[in-house]
Amino acid sequence: MSRVLGVDPGTRRTGWGVVERAGGKLRALAAGVIRLDARAPLADRLEIVYDALDAVIEEHRPRAVAVEDVFYAKYPNAAIQLGHVRGVVLLLVARGGLGLGEYPPALVKRTVAGRGAADKRQLGRIVGAMLSLEEELGADATDALAVAITHLAATPSR
Q: Has 44 been annotated as catalytic? A: no
Active site residue 37: no
Strand 2-8 with 13-22, pairing: antiparallel
State which H helix or E strand residue 133 sits in: none
Contact by Cβ (8 Å): 59, 98: no
Radius of gyration of the chain, Cα coordinates, nearest whole angstrom: 15
Whether 68 is catalytic is yes
Beta strand extents in 23-68 (DSSP E only):
25-35, 64-68
* Choice among 8, 58, 135, 136 that is catalytic: 8
- Helices 120-130 and 105-113 pack at an angle, to 10 degrees, of 50
Q: Which of 20, 47, 54, 68 is catalytic?
A: 68
* Annotated active-site residue in 54, 69, 140, 143: 140
- Tell me the catalytic residues: 8, 68, 140
